[in-house]
A and B are shown apart, each in its own frame.
Chain A
């Protein structure tokens, strides 16, 4: 699947990107990350020359809440369990990362470096375990209340799949990454995208080999990955620990996307950033700042020149393989 990752759209570039693709036909838009402002998409519509078809995933989710109270109650209970799981994970992560940072400050001897490597490995294991647990809890929930067996959800899924199949491209905007990822899963957008990718896209200028492109920024980009990592080094309560939150659509794998990296991360703190990079290695930690455009290849790999966190914590550009 062809994915184009953009930086934050405070100064929009999505219009130029869509024009550059020479697409003909409607563009499906997902603005569910804006939550109750989902429908305030006039500016986006203008940027897309009015060719947009809003998928309305947040509105559909609200409809499920209203019309399927059993599912809604189950989902609320699920959120409670996930919140508790995240709390306990963060508690363990706090101690584990404090050990890492303490060791990083004295890792100038071989034994200390080995201890640091072991401490980072422990954090990686904690991240993996947490992700497994989260996926497990979600899996149990979906087994207990299979969405495809719920008529209201099935109805919305069919409508979303149809709209995506009729579109020339799909645009996923930013916003609340948790809300966005949840509705993308609920309405099975990954399956719809994969099915659409196997069909030729609309438009005479588009190459069939290119498939139906997905253009995403900020939270929208994060929600396409196989591991959503939350981060905010400049929160009012002090720098938070980057935390694994869950699984996105897994359209992109082995990549951790960092929107607003310059404003949200302490990029000048190389030891801290080094821990970040080592923690998620071999995944690339990719910076998505203003003006960024990354065209991934069919395998979802980032091209040379993509700005990433290097193992030493500095920002560097990917070199050609």
Chain B
């Protein structure tokens, strides 16, 4: 599936042609909106629209490098508001509109745009820029045999709670085989917002990724457990892992074990590998919250980041090998792009093999979903090299 495509616009933008229309009345605006998908993508230029009575309207987004409040202008004599933003080819941004009426400021998803992205903190509108492609392997494929999900409860002394785990077993799972194990932080969110089950079914079906057992884990107090917590690392390594390796046919060696996570989940993955450097052969780190300071203590992340910054500063001062392979991905429109870029040479200097991927995307579940093929096929390559039909 591709986003709006075609050569960069040579003619006047649709919104500028509308501005020249006379008479410019409500019926003309009605017809204009009926003819165009919103945002209107014309080459690299994206026109955002809002229709309604308001004092001010802003485009709100978290695209690193652009002002986060972009004002929309009112088209003279109408109730149509617009802003034109230039986005590089292949970009994807999530946004909302802020509508100001008197003292009241309301943030809403774009009522003219049906495309939404979902996350634990709610939904946002999505703009797919010129040339953006939604990978077909992220969508359900009737040809792909479905793996199964199994719910487990692992009592944890380390975390002092019963921990929920959803285990993915690949289609054609056999007790007599041996499978690599992927442990996923924020597992419920990966399943819900990053279509992880569909992605695994498809990538395994296409032989891109090895048949893998995946443990989707769920945090308790996320900001505490994922911010370099010894208890969390002990839970994964001394409680969850031995139980899974005892009950399921797993490879049981470092090259067959991977820790994965996004944002704070990436920090938790790195911190666990750091505490148990001989256990996990690979890490898959997406948009890691690897915030650090070179001098002073003002990291800008707020109190939850304090233990993260202490850990990352310590790691950067004395990098050490925590796995054989590390896959790192990050969106170039998120502020974490700079810490993530900075970590790549640090990981390499520690003697780990690193694959680093950037995308014109933000700190979002769709970004993390769309990078899974590159990451998983590198960490646990599928058997394509064995198949010659």
Contact = CB atoms under 8 A, between A and B. Distances in A.
A232 interface: yes
A268 interface: no
B374 A259 contact: no
A171 B251 CA distance: 35
Given A76-B178, A79-B178, A237 B386 contact: no
Contacts of B373: 236
A174 B388 contact: yes
Contacts of B377: 235-237
Given A76-B178, A176-B386, A87 B381 contact: no
Interface string A2-13: 000000111000
Interface in B98-129: none
Contacts, number: 62
Given A87-B255, A236-B373, A218 B389 contact: yes
Contact of A80 (B178, B383, B386, B387): B178
B356 interface: no
Contact of B381 (A9, A174, A176, A237): A237
A32 B253 CA distance: 29
Interface of chain A, helix or strand or loop or mixed? mixed
A157 B176 CA distance: 22
A10 B388 CA distance: 11
Contacts of A231: 385
Interface residues of B, number: 19
Contact of A36 (B172, B253, B374, B389): B172
Interface size grouping (class) on chain A = 20 to 34
A176 B374 contact: no
Interface string B250-277: 0101010000000000000000000000
Contacts of A232: 384-385
**Candidate in B377, B378, B385 with the most chain A CB atoms within 10 angstroms:** B385
Contact of A177 (B176, B374, B381, B388): B388
**Candidate in B208, B255, B373, B384 with the most chain A CB atoms within 10 angstroms:** B384
Interface string A206-243: 00000000000011001000000011100111101001
Contacts of A178: 386
A237 B388 CA distance: 18
Interface in B322-342: none
Interface string B365-389: 0000000011001100101111111
Given A80-B253, A235-B208, A237-B378, 6 more contacts: A177-B387, A230-B385, A235-B377, A236-B373, A237-B377, A240-B381
